[in-house]
Structure formats: structure tokens, C-alpha cells
Amino acid sequence: MTNSARGKKWLDLLTKGAPKVEGLIDSVKCVKTPEAVYIAVVPDEHNHYPRATGGEVGLLEGWTLGKVLRSIIAEDELKAIKRPIIAVVDVTSQAYGRREEAFGIHQSLASAASGYALARMAGHPVIAFIVAKAMSGAFLAHGYQANRLIALDDPKVLIHAMGKQAAARITLRSVEDLDKFAATVPPMAYDIKNYATLGLLEDLVKVESPDEPTEADVRKVSERIAQAIEAARKAPLDLSNRLGSPNRKATSLVREMMKEQW
């Protein structure tokens, strides 16, 4: 199984094969139950846009995520207890191309990101469960606005602003040089262990088989998601829980200085 197949696999197992919402594009899967909502972006080899065939978040995916999230907010608007939203994250990048940029992919992905933020601020506990890659604008659009981030403790789980090859081109360095920087500069690293030191993750979950999860694996992850939901319900609606990591002292200092000056 490739990385890009993990998202759909975990979505199906966590929802026990419950029916998907009908009428969506094939690359966005959503399961709505009375207890929770699960959403994933998955590969679609027949995607209308060729750059979005491998699990990328593109024009259609961004608008669809925004539409789905706003429908959930509307459905629960009068409910005292809002359903949790679990974003199963396995996204390789945003689907950039000349057509995508001309047609406003920045607005599409903003629609998705704002949808998650609006849901969080409306009282929906939003949990991002990262099962493989969470890269670039795709992660910003699908998952990063969550109250809590949970990730599998596995070498195939990678989080970064861009792929290594792209980062090497942009910085005029080799991939090998980037790997050397990553050894001493955690934000430059791609692996989930280094990412965890930044204080952004709620939980890092070790399972027996990330690609072919056992019943025990699914049960363990479900329990961790439930714990994250409860933590989110008791906490402020903002993302202040991500602050305070020793590896982000400079970030905290800048925030305090800005408060003093503004």
C-alpha cells in the first residue's frame, strides 16, 4: 500500500465502513453520523485536474471541503453540543499548476481552511489525524486549523511546508545538505519525531501496522481521538494550546513583544 492509500483505509476503519455522503467529488470522502463527522481527501486517478490525481488538495477539493464544513456548521447550529469533526490527513501537496493558479486555487484552499476555523470557533471539536504526508498548502487547507493534531508514530508520516526536492531548488542547496540541517534544526526536518518537539501535536500514536491496521490499532486510535475531543471541549476555541514549546521560545517572545507594542 502506498502512502496515498492510508487516508481512505483509516477513514473506512474508523467509521466502520459507514456510508459516505453522496454527491461529492470522488477525491473528497465524508462520513456523517449523529456522533461525529469524518473527512478525508483521497487519490482520484480520473480527477478533472491532472495535478490532483494523487491525493493533492486542488481547486475542486478546496471548494468541496469548504462546502462540506459549512453544511456541518449549519446542521448543528441549534444544537447545544456540536459534533466533532475528524480530518483524516494524507495529502501530498496542494495541486499547483498554471490552470489552478489562474482559476484561483488560493481562494479554494482558503475556503477549506476557513471552513475548519469556522467550525472550530462554532464549538465543533476539530481533530486532525495525520496518517501519512501532511504537506504544504494541502495541510493548511485540510487539518491544520484543528483544535488538536494527532499523528501516527511512523517514518512515513511527514510534515513540512514543501517537498525536499522543491525545498532544495528554492534554497539552492542539495537534498543531502537539507538533511544535514535537519539534524540540528528541527523546523527543517520532515519526520514526525522532530515535528513533535515543536509543541504542535497533541498526541503521537504508535500502532502495530499503519498500512494494514489491526482491530487493536483502530481501537487505540479511536480512544486517542476521543480523548482529544474531550480535551478540545474543555479548552478555549483558539489554538493557544500550541504555544509554549521549548523549541519555539523565539515565537513566544515575538508574540509577547508584539502584544506590548500593539
Query: What domains does the chain contain, in order, with CATH numbers?
Result: 3-237 (3.90.226.10)
Sequence-distant (≥ 6) Cβ neighbours of residue 93 within 8 angstroms: 56, 57, 135, 136, 137, 138, 162, 163
What CA–CA distance (Å, rounded) separates 148 from 28?
Answer: 21
In this model, does residue 140 exceed pLDDT 80?
A: yes
What CA–CA distance (Å, rounded) separates 75 from 138?
Answer: 26
* 48-62, 86-100, 138-152, 239-253: the lowest-pLDDT one: 239-253
What CA–CA distance (Å, rounded) separates 15 from 18?
Answer: 6
Give the pLDDT band of residue 1 (cuts 50, 70, 90).
very low
In this model, does residue 10 exceed pLDDT 60?
A: yes
Q: What are 90-100's pLDDT values in tens digits?
A: 999 999 889 99
In this model, does residue 208 exceed pLDDT 90?
A: yes
* 9-18, 76-85, 253-262: the lowest-pLDDT one: 253-262
Q: What are 29-41's pLDDT values in tens digits?
A: 999 999 999 999 9
In this model, does residue 7 exceed pLDDT 80?
A: yes
What CA–CA distance (Å, rounded) separates 190 from 154?
Answer: 12
Give the pLDDT band of residue 44 (cuts 50, 70, 90).
very high
Q: What is the pLDDT of residue 198?
A: 85
Give the 3-state secondary structure of residue 209. coil
Q: What is the pLDDT of residue 118?
A: 98
Give the pLDDT band of residue 2 (cuts 50, 70, 90).
very low
Q: What is the pLDDT of residue 186?
A: 66
**R_g of the chain, CA atoms, integer Å:** 18
What CA–CA distance (Å, rounded) separates 70 from 114?
Answer: 9
Share of the chain above pLDDT 70, in %: 96
Share of the chain above pLDDT 90, in %: 73
Q: What are 216-254's pLDDT values in tens digits?
A: 999 999 999 999 999 999 999 999 888 888 877 888 889
| Alpha-carbon torsion (203, 28, 36, 16), positive or negative | negative
Burial class (CB in 10 A: 0-12, 13-18, 19+), 24: middle
Give the 3-state secondary structure of residue 86. strand
68, 47 in Cβ contact below 8 A?
Answer: no
54: its cell numbers: 494523487
Q: What are 182-193's pLDDT values in tens digits?
A: 667 766 767 888
14, 229 in Cβ contact below 8 A?
Answer: no
Q: What is the pLDDT of residue 196?
A: 83
In this model, does residue 195 exceed pLDDT 90?
A: no
Q: What is the pLDDT of residue 6?
A: 94
Average of per-residue pLDDT values in the chain? 91
pLDDT higher for 63 or 198? 63
What CA–CA distance (Å, rounded) separates 111 from 117?
Answer: 10
In this model, does residue 13 exceed pLDDT 60?
A: yes
In this model, does residue 3 exceed pLDDT 50?
A: no
Q: How far is CA 30 from the centre of its chain?
A: 14
